[in-house]
Amino acid sequence: MTKMNAAMFYAPKDVRFERIDVPSPGPGELLVKIGAALTCGTDIKTYERGHPAIIKKVPSTFGHEFSGQVVGVGEGVTQFKEGDRVCTCNAVPCGECYYCKIGHRNLCEDLLILNGAYAEYIVIPARMVKHNVYKIPDHMTFQEAAVSEPLGTAIHCIRHAGIRQGDTVAVLGSGPLGLMISRLAHLQGARVILSGEITEERKRVASEFGVNEFINILEVTEPKDRIQMVKDLTDGGRGVDVAIEAAGFPQAWEEAIQMIRKAGTVVFHGGCKAGTTITVDTHAMHYFEHKLIGVFHQDPDDYRRSVNLLASRLVDGRKFITDTMPLSQLITAFERIRRFEGIKFAIDPTVM
Ligand SMILES: [Zn+2]
Ligand SMILES: [Zn+2]
């Protein structure tokens, strides 16, 4: 059996780099040689504190944003062949449970989740091959194709925001998702205010993406000052039409609510720690008709749109990749992200 490099998750803060067997594809499955695997905030959180849904047993392969080349085709697969360059979403719904049937496939009760992007090879399960794998065009790099998974969640988020041309939208959070959401809001015709840790690199990318105004929370540290700044940037100081939270902190959720105008909308995209709560002003909620919307994950249609947006480069996936690092430097890449030293890193699994 041939061996490959892989990152193995044993426990929080315990990821080991090992040589394991190259998996082989069963019926309906694809064996893919990883072309690019990207760091993601979810993987960093998993590294730091584990993840009950993503890591069900240990040791486990690790990493979920990737693209690559088909090198093995399982029995019965007709739509893909060896040599195809492909990308896939890391999860696929069952299509049969109650929530799938009523049109909320993102909330599927039997989501199939794939891990193992931080390795040289990965097997894509049959259900995923059927519904969530796409060939990528020649002009598209593996790295930008790997952005398709997080961008799909940003598309899912924007679908719920109801943005109209000429709206002003505040985005809270300047990580990869905040940047993607800002880009999509811009493409919807909105003027975008981005509030977050604004480093030089993020500012450059966000400006290219069409962000109009910045609030750097490293400098403006008081939420009430940021809320006022956002309001001052809107007509009559009324507040923004839409605020989108993409930071994942309860304080930011509360801040977002206070930035919107009457009848405005808040979309909560950033997942907070389990058990946390926020306080909502019932008076404002009632008399100002605030619309507060939670969003989670994506469905296969969001993912399909994401691949199209990247292929057209209306969203330029290349701009999210700060640098490439060898597999053995995965944790260093996580630490650099935590220090805001990059947006995403591409991990090269061939180098240990
Ligand atoms: Zn991700
Ligand atoms: Zn389902």
CATH code (residue 265)? 3.40.50.720
Instruction: Kindly identify the ligand whose nearest atom is closest to the C-alpha of 177.
Output: 1
In a domain, 156, yes or no: no
- Please check whether residues 186 and 140 belong to one and the same domain: no
In this structure, which ligand is nearest to the CA of 298? 1
The domain total for the chain is 2
Q: Is residue 289 part of a domain?
A: yes
271 shares a domain with 132: no
Examine the pLDDT at 112 and tell me if it is beyond 90: yes
Whole-number pLDDT of residue 334? 97
Q: Is cis: bond before 59, omega within 30 of 0?
A: yes
> 294, 311, 333: which is the final residue of a domain?
294
What letter represents residue 6's amino acid? A
Residues 141 and 120 in one domain: yes
Question: What pLDDT, on the 0 to 100 scale, is given for residue 56?
Answer: 84
Host domain of residue 228: 161-294
* Residue 69 clears pLDDT 90, i.e. is over it: yes
Q: pLDDT tens digit string along 277-288? A: 999 999 999 999
Does pLDDT of 117 surpass 80?
yes
Would you state the pLDDT for residue 54? 83
Q: Residue 55: is its pLDDT beyond 90? A: no
pLDDT at 187: 98
Is 119 within a domain? yes
C-alpha 240 to ligand 2 mean position (Å): 36
Q: What is the CATH number of the domain that holds 35?
A: 3.90.180.10
* Whether residue 265 sits in one domain with residue 187: yes
**Per-residue pLDDT tens over the stretch 283-335:** 999 999 999 999 999 999 999 999 999 999 999 999 999 999 999 999 999 99
How far from 260 is each of 35, 196, 228, 340, CA to CA, in Å? 42, 17, 11, 28
Instruction: Give the distance (Å) from ligand 2 centre to CA of residue 250.
Output: 29
Are 193 and 134 members of one domain?
no
Say yes or no: 204 and 141 in one domain. no
Measured in Å, residue 300 CA sits from the centre of ligand 2 at: 12
Report how far ligand 2's centroid is from the alpha carbon of 113 (Å).
Answer: 12
C-beta separation of 257 from 243 below 8 A: yes
- Mean pLDDT, residues 91-116 taken together: 97
Is 35 within the bounds of a domain? yes
pLDDT range class, residue 206, cuts 50, 70, 90: very high
> For residues 143 and 347, what is the distance between their CA atoms, to the nearest angstrom?
10
Per-residue pLDDT reduced to its tens digit, 170-180: 999 999 999 99
Whether residues 187 and 246 fall in one domain: yes
Look at residue 52 in the predicted model and tell me its pLDDT: 80
185 with 261, same domain: the answer is yes
What is the C-alpha to C-alpha distance for residues 275 and 288, in angstroms, rounded to an integer? 28
Q: Are residues 256 and 185 in the same domain?
A: yes
Start-to-end CA distance of the chain, whole Å, equals 20
Confidence at residue 140, expressed as pLDDT on a 0 to 100 scale: 98
Residue 235 has what DSSP assignment?
G
Dist. CA 92 → ligand 1 center (Å): 14
Cα-to-centroid distance, 153 and ligand 2 (Å) = 17
Is 117 among the domain residues?
yes
Which candidate, 123, 141, 143, 118, places its Cα nearest to that of 133?
123
SS3 for 204?
Answer: helix
| pLDDT higher than 90, residue 1 | no
**204, 226: one domain:** yes
Q: Which ligand is nearest to the CA of 66?
A: 1
Is there a domain that residue 19 lies in?
Answer: yes
